[in-house]
Structure 1
Amino acid sequence: MRLHFTSARMVVAPLLLGIAVLALWQLAVVALEIKPFVLPGPAAIADQFFGNIDNVWTASAVTGWNALVGLVLGAIAGVLFATLAAVWPVLDELSAPIVAALAVIPIVALAPVLYTMYGAGAETARQIIAAIAVFIPVYLNSLRGFRQVRPVHRELMHVYAASGIQTARNVTLPSSLPFIFTGLRIASSLAVISALIAEYFGGPVGGLGKSITSAASSSNYSLAWAYVLGSILVGLVFYSITLGLEKFVSRHRPTP
């Protein structure tokens, strides 16, 4: 009973807080007569969101697909490269400047270059930008997780004459999973953000970033915020799926 009460409180409390914030927001917009170009009210945003739900869904699908491709590619590359760096520490030392450069590379400068390379009509540039954004946290957290394995566990597997694959499956991977998923949770939001920002600087017409820009340029600020709401929902979906996957794997992973 206590467990159910705690779970309900974790859901109800943030929900009530969100409703209170929205109510205060709407009250402030009405009472202070805030202009829509400064900050539209939640009621106007909701009206535009549900009134243009098909367009919001289409734009969200474009941005979400690019973010998903970038998340998968960046996560795979991050885990694989971290595995190699854990096995050969010299590789980590040699690649440290490159990783640092990727971590601070500006999307504003990279997006136009990639659009020129792959064509303004392709989504490839946005997917690559999302993959780069994902690679950094996944790589750094995975590498840290691989290095957290206790020497006594490795020595025990060596005594049992376990192969490298058996050691990785039964010791290294279970110990590093929390770190890998921490990187994935961070990367899930970054994938959406980076894919959305890349849409501001060219490429195909479509996606939430382009939609926000178009609505704002036509002075339809409530619609622009409706697309912002769509991007928030896409980010929450990505984060929730990653978190759910982490909980599922954590329940079934072997204990090293």
Structure 2
Amino acid sequence: MAKKLNKDSVKSVSYPLLFGVIVLLLWQFQIIHGIFGADTFTLPLPSRIVSILVDNFPKMSKDIIATVTVALGGLVLGSILGFVIAMIAAMAPHWGAGGLSLATAFNAIPIIAIAPILNNLTRDFSRDPNTRSMLAKILVVMITCTVSMAINAYRGFTELKPFSLDLFKSYAAKPSTVFFRLRLPNCVPYIFTALRISVPGCVISAMVSEYFAEYIIGVGRQIRESIVLAQYATAWAYIVVACLIGIILYVTLILVESFVLRNRTKK
């Protein structure tokens, strides 16, 4: 069984890596350019993008820190808010159902619509444009991450094992005991399911919100500015940085999840 799992793990990593290497080779030798009729100005070669990354990484680090701060700040706040909504919905269904519906409605609002609105609403928050711009971007990410956590955590609180709740009631367990001994442990895997959705979403939301931010900083904003100035190689370098941020955050989440849930997966 362990050998089969190891083989599956190797395949799940090796196949995507092999596909990525093939794409990079086709890109570097301009085969992709010939297929799509592109030129090396709008679609720079990987070697050119890497050279820009190496030469300008100290300058890019400021934008990377800003984007990661917004993404993680919104992720934490949105996850906490979604968890609280789910907890209220599970413990008080009459109140909680409305909260879940409201959270779902907010999630239906496009980021490109809500980001400018939040920028205007936070203009009086501080005299520092960086501070109020950072707040607006974090709020955008928070709204994006709230719904997935609320829905998945609610499932974790309510989708219990058969007869487990009846067993606790038969022992006359207090609601707090039922929550901490039954509902909360059952909810932990669902929390990580929500985070698997929210982690890529928080990076995307952070970069999109930077397009409309008042303060010019962040990976997303630099992608926009580079495209406006026709500096496509620089724009592609920031796109690669954005991909790396998402991959690193997601891999970190998977490692934390495997550590926290290690006892649950053992057979």
The TM-score normalised by the length of structure 2 is: 0.87
Structure-to-structure mapping, 1:1-256, within 5 angstroms: 2=3, 4-27=6-29, 28-29=31-32, 34-119=38-123, 120-121=129-130, 122=132, 123-150=134-161, 152-252=163-263
- Assess, with a 3 A threshold, how the Cα gap between structure 1 residues 77 and 209 changes in structure 2: closer, same or farther: same
Give the ranges of 4+ consecutive aligned residues of structure 1 lying more than 6 Å apart after TM superposition: none
Shift of residue 184, structure 1, vs aligned partner: 0.9
- Assess, with a 3 A threshold, how the Cα gap between structure 1 residues 253 and 157 changes in structure 2: closer, same or farther: farther
Instruction: Please say which of residues 123-132 and 47-56 is displaced more in the overlay.
Output: 47-56
In 2, the alpha carbon distance for the partners of 1:78 and 1:206 equals: 28
- Assess, with a 3 A threshold, how the Cα gap between structure 1 residues 163 and 64 changes in structure 2: closer, same or farther: same
Contact 1:29-1:39 at 8 Å conserved across structures: no
Contact 2:86-2:100 at 8 Å conserved across structures: no
Shift of residue 38, structure 1, vs aligned partner: 3.5
In 2, the alpha carbon distance for the partners of 1:187 and 1:89 equals: 25
Identity %: 33
After superposition, what is the alpha-carbon deviation per residue over 1:173-220, rounded to whole angstroms, capped at 9, x for unaligned?
Answer: 222222221111100111111111001012212100111112112211
- Assess, with a 3 A threshold, how the Cα gap between structure 1 residues 241 and 19 changes in structure 2: closer, same or farther: same
In 2, the alpha carbon distance for the partners of 1:174 and 1:76 equals: 16
Shift of residue 229, structure 1, vs aligned partner: 0.7
In 2, the alpha carbon distance for the partners of 1:126 and 1:152 equals: 44
**SS of the counterpart of 1:52?**
helix
Shift of residue 34, structure 1, vs aligned partner: 2.7
Instruction: Please say which of residues 91-100 and 223-232 is displaced more in the overlay.
Output: 91-100
Q: Residue 63 of structure 2 aligns to which amino acid in structure 1?
A: A
Contact 2:89-2:95 at 8 Å conserved across structures: yes
**SS of the counterpart of 1:78?**
helix
What RMSD over aligned residues (CA atoms) do the two structures have, in Å? 2.3
Contact 2:89-2:100 at 8 Å conserved across structures: no
Contact 1:62-1:207 at 8 Å conserved across structures: yes
- Assess, with a 3 A threshold, how the Cα gap between structure 1 residues 37 and 89 changes in structure 2: closer, same or farther: farther
Shift of residue 96, structure 1, vs aligned partner: 4.6
Specify every segment of 5 or more residues in structure 2 that has no aligned partner in the other structure, as ranges: 124-128
Instruction: Please say which of residues 112-121 and 215-224 is displaced more in the overlay.
Output: 112-121
In 2, the alpha carbon distance for the partners of 1:76 and 1:200 equals: 26
After superposition, what is the alpha-carbon deviation per residue over 1:7-66, rounded to whole angstroms, capped at 9, x for unaligned?
Answer: 444333322221111111223256567324542222222121222112222211110001
In 2, the alpha carbon distance for the partners of 1:254 and 1:87 equals: 28
- Assess, with a 3 A threshold, how the Cα gap between structure 1 residues 168 and 96 changes in structure 2: closer, same or farther: closer
**SS of the counterpart of 2:245?**
helix
Contact 1:29-1:40 at 8 Å conserved across structures: no
The TM-score normalised by the length of structure 1 is: 0.90
What's 2:126 paired with? none
Contact 1:78-1:135 at 8 Å conserved across structures: yes
- Assess, with a 3 A threshold, how the Cα gap between structure 1 residues 29 and 93 changes in structure 2: closer, same or farther: closer
The number of residue pairs the alignment matches comes to: 255
Instruction: Please say which of residues 50-59 and 139-148 is displaced more in the overlay.
Output: 50-59
